[in-house]
Structure 1
Amino acid sequence: MRTLPPLSLLRAFEATARTGSVTRAAEELHRTHGAVSRQLKLLQEDVGAALFDKEGTGLKLNRHGEDLHALVGGVFEQLEHGYARLRAQVRGSGLHVACSATFAMRWLVPNLEDFYRTRSDIRIRLSMTSAREIRTEGADLVIAWDLSSYAEADRARAIPLAPVAFGPVCRPGYQRKAKAGTRITHDFTSSAWTHWEQQTGRHIGTGGQIALPHTHLCIEAALSGLGVALVEKRLVRRELDEGRLVAPWGFVPLPFTLMALPAAGRTLPVELDEFVAWLRGRLESQDAKPLAGVRG
């Protein structure tokens, strides 16, 4: 008989130890803050010692916690890689790509026809998620422009694809009242507004705020005239070209880069390098085309 605590307790501990936050661990595990806190309490009772010390508003592993994390982290990595290999064998060959639902719907899927025009033999399987942490999807390649929650080793081997530029967009006519209007923010990238204001010296949407969990919801809110949303230019190109949105203050580069992160610790499909090269070329060719509805 195995004398191990429930796997759910170890998952809660590993996520909290890795992120340094019960809140971020709860987001990753799709649990409430209270549920994760209770799991940590049960685990510490089972161990017979505290595993964390408070550090500011976050948590820091103590000596017992570091010992357990060294053990659990390695086991989870092995389990994750082994399970990914099994899924790949069952599902057949191809390239598994994970990215945000908004990027998939608004850029990747509409552009895949160009990729398949020359490589129709490569099977692309997509995992779409709005969560920042998508390692558990077992993807061969993760596409994202915010890898701040990833380990330093992951960030170091990520492949830059293209610079990103954000700008406030709204429905035509709304810009006249936008300065004192409503600001539409993304729950997980609210810092983008801070970066944009620092870059431009402008303050837009000082009359209130709407926070939404998905970028495509922020765009839909702007289309409905609910306020001004700060979004990456590629995600609203169609609406700008069609005149359904305008970008009166233009787009400015922010300190992010669209990155491609290959999976670590396992053999990757031979098609990965070709797909990454296509991504870079396609993004570069589209960036050369001017956007409609934009002022500097």
Structure 2
Amino acid sequence: MRDLPSLNALRAFEATARLGSVGRAAEHLHVTHGAISRQLRVLEEALGQPLFARQGRGVTLTPIGEQLRDRVSDAFEQLREGWADLQRGRDDAPFVLGCAGSLLARWIIPRLERLEHELPTLRLHLSPEEDPLAPRHAQPDAALALAAPPWPPGWQVHVLAPERIGPVVSPRHAGLERLLERGIPALLDEELLHTSSRPQAWPAWARVSGISAESLHYGQGFTHLFYLLEAAVAGLGIAIAPAQLVQDDLDAGRLLAPWGFQQTDASWILATPRRGSDYRVDALAEWMRRALNA
């Protein structure tokens, strides 16, 4: 049986091939640029062929480099999945939940004490990810998201609750009395707060509410839904949001939803990578389903 090259050399190659740069591979593996280069030379000398060709500041794979990448990537993925399965088999292993920062701050954290009380054996580790369903090097055990079909490949999806969105405004908002008197058409004269993470939210709500989406006027924009809703609470304008994310504010009187909520084609989902079963997923999905539909 022929000897394999060193694991460090293969890790250096896999990182360089995936990231397209020796420098980025060095940062990812927390080693020097020279250390990565030396490991790559070990592989190239053993094969007698170059694995990379330089292109600008990055590198591209040669044909034999592409062949090695495919084999090494599959092998490392199997190792990662096998290790994850072994860790999940421990009752005391942390359960990593990925979710967008807005869902984390506005829905999970306010309910975290209750979740820990009702699921005491679940050692939850929260991982903020703006797109937890996006392909990446390390996947969480599960991802909480607002999404619409088709579901991303490689994930098993537990549908928790339908998404309902609607405009919300602070009781301190200037001109609130006039807005309430005129009803939904009054929104056509407002500069609406919006977020780049959900650009379709206002048009989708307008269409099902019987007003022209093209007639809406947009004011201040925000990169994240969390900032958008904080601006609305501060009385800076009218925002739009999923009902469950603002329910606590509605109950406390910090926000009003006088124009109602409309169901979209999206849902709250708990998605898990298709890499083996985990008994904790069903318990968490059921808990979230009850909390979202309460």
TM-score scaled to structure 1, two decimals?
Answer: 0.66
Cα distance change, pair 191–78 in 1 and its aligned pair in 2 (3 A): farther
Cα distance change, pair 90–138 in 1 and its aligned pair in 2 (3 A): farther
Check conservation: 2:148, 2:267, Cα contact below 8 A.
Answer: no
Pairs within 5 Å for 1:141-220 = 141-146=142-147, 151-154=152-155, 157-172=156-171, 173-174=173-174, 175=176, 176=179, 178-203=187-212, 206-220=216-230
Check conservation: 2:144, 2:270, Cα contact below 8 A.
Answer: yes
Q: CA deviation at 1:212?
A: 1.6
Q: Structure 2 counterpart of 1:219, which letter?
A: L
Q: CA deviation at 1:190?
A: 0.9
Q: Structure 1 counterpart of 2:116, which letter?
A: Y
Task: Tell me the percent identity.
Answer: 24
Cα distance change, pair 39–211 in 1 and its aligned pair in 2 (3 A): farther
Q: Distance in 1 between matches of 2:69 and 2:204?
A: 34
Q: CA deviation at 1:88?
A: 6.3
Q: Structure 1 counterpart of 2:102, which letter?
A: T
Q: Distance in 2 between matches of 1:41 and 1:220?
A: 41
Q: CA deviation at 1:87?
A: 7.2
Match of 2:266 in 1: 256
Q: CA deviation at 1:96?
A: 2.0
Q: CA deviation at 1:266?
A: 3.9
Cα distance change, pair 182–80 in 1 and its aligned pair in 2 (3 A): farther
Match of 2:282 in 1: 273
Pairs within 5 Å for 1:50-89 = 74=74, 77-78=77-78, 80-81=80-81, 84=84
Residues 189-244 of structure 1 show CA distances to partners (whole Å, capped at 9, x for unaligned) of 21122221221122588343332221110101112233221110111112212222
Q: Structure 1 counterpart of 2:18, which letter?
A: L
Structure 1 counterpart SS, 2:147: coil
Give structure 2 stretches of 5+ with no counterpart: 22-53, 180-185
Match of 1:113 in 2: 113
Q: Structure 1 counterpart of 2:162, which letter?
A: P
Structure 1 counterpart SS, 2:265: strand
Cα distance change, pair 211–8 in 1 and its aligned pair in 2 (3 A): farther
Q: Distance in 2 between matches of 1:106 and 1:123?
A: 20
Check conservation: 1:98, 1:127, Cα contact below 8 A.
Answer: yes
Q: CA deviation at 1:264?
A: 2.1
Q: Distance in 2 between matches of 1:116 and 1:10?
A: 38
Structure 2 counterpart SS, 1:271: helix
Q: CA deviation at 1:267?
A: 4.9
Check conservation: 1:10, 1:43, Cα contact below 8 A.
Answer: no
Q: CA deviation at 1:180?
A: 2.1
Residues 66-96 of structure 1 show CA distances to partners (whole Å, capped at 9, x for unaligned) of x899668645643653564587699951422
Structure 2 counterpart SS, 1:142: strand
TM-score scaled to structure 2, two decimals?
Answer: 0.66
Match of 1:34 in 2: none
Structure 2 counterpart SS, 1:108: helix
Structure 1 counterpart SS, 2:97: strand
Structure 2 counterpart SS, 1:145: strand
Between Structure 1 and Structure 2, whose CA radius of gyration is higher?
2
Structure 2 counterpart SS, 1:208: strand
Q: Distance in 2 between matches of 1:267 and 1:161?
A: 19
Cα distance change, pair 153–87 in 1 and its aligned pair in 2 (3 A): closer
Cα distance change, pair 222–152 in 1 and its aligned pair in 2 (3 A): same
CA RMSD, Structure 1 to Structure 2 (Å): 3.8
Q: Distance in 2 between matches of 1:214 and 1:82?
A: 35
Q: Distance in 2 between matches of 1:202 and 1:274?
A: 41
Give structure 1 stretches of 5+ with no counterpart: 14-37, 49-64, 287-296
Cα distance change, pair 72–182 in 1 and its aligned pair in 2 (3 A): farther
Paired residues, number = 242
Q: Distance in 2 between matches of 1:10 and 1:168?
A: 42
Cα distance change, pair 210–6 in 1 and its aligned pair in 2 (3 A): farther
Check conservation: 1:185, 1:229, Cα contact below 8 A.
Answer: yes
Q: Structure 2 counterpart of 1:253, which letter?
A: Q
